[in-house]
Amino acid sequence: MDELVVSTEVYADPEKVYTFLLDFPQYANYSEYLREVITVSGDGGPGTRYALTFAWWKISYTARSEVTGVEPPERIDWEITKDVDAGGCWRVTPLEAGDGDEDASDDDSTDDADPSEAPATDDAPCEVALEIEFDPGSASPDALDLPRLVSFDWVLKKAIPLIRGEAERVVERAVQDLEGSTRDVDLDVYVDSDRI
């Protein structure tokens, strides 16, 4: 399984963040390739099923996902239910004063977060993380109606690297929407594969 984790601080109440993230249909507003999310059944809790329509290049695909568990206001687990072995979660972790600054000293990055970039709010920061695990080898070639002379392997090779950019874009735009500002969002990204 390949793993990708995108995390950052958001200046909003953890319960507000959790409720916001539980609204899967809004994710199409934050993604370049996710065109629409339709609730097939459920109310957002465990067992809720979604149809996620992606479009890239000349390909359109509808993935099926399901919320597999929730721990309000800290965690939302989900999985893709057909065509590929994939799943993940959203984590929301309250931070104590100074927690965000301690991590910055261990970071390899040369840019230290500028406290003046934090939005004007009374909310203490919390960490929000999107964690994704997937097995590209489990993807079903029958899932896509490909143009003639286009191989499924070629599509996978081109599409897998897009996952990281999409995850970063979704987290950044969601944080900006939660905070009601367009500040630069500092993302921490972990990948365990050179394919992503």
CATH number at residue 179: 3.30.530.20
Beta-carbon count within 10 A of 148 CB: 4
73 upstream amide cis, omega within 30 of 0: yes
In angstroms, the CA 36 to CA 31 distance is: 10
Q: Sign of the C-alpha dihedral, residues 98, 100, 104, 106? A: positive
Has residue 55 been placed in a domain?
Answer: no
Has residue 111 been placed in a domain?
Answer: yes
Has residue 34 been placed in a domain?
Answer: no
What percent of the chain is modeled with pLDDT above 90? Answer: 67
3-class SS shares of the chain: helix, strand, coil, % to 5:
30, 35, 35
Does 120 or 11 have the greater pLDDT score? 11
Q: Confidence band (pLDDT; 50, 70, 90) for 109?
A: very low
- What pLDDT is stored for residue 99 in this prediction? 55
Has residue 40 been placed in a domain?
Answer: no
Helix (H, G, I), strand (E, B) or coil at 12: coil
- Confirm whether pTM is higher than 0.95: no
Nearest-Å Rg of the Cα atoms of the chain is: 18
* Angle separating helix axes 152-179 and 14-21, nearest 10 degrees: 140
Structural domain count, the chain: 1
What residues make up the domain containing 178? 2-26+67-191
**Among 176, 192, 194, 180, CA closest to 8:** 176
Tell me the per-residue pLDDT of 53-91, one tens digit each, with 9 for 90 and over.
999 988 899 999 999 999 999 999 999 999 999 999 999
Has residue 49 been placed in a domain?
Answer: no
Has residue 132 been placed in a domain?
Answer: yes
Give the lowest-confidence range in 6-10, 77-81, 105-109, 168-172: 105-109
In angstroms, the CA 49 to CA 65 distance is: 6
Q: Measure Cα distances from 32 to 96, 97, 111, 134 in Å.
A: 34, 34, 27, 20
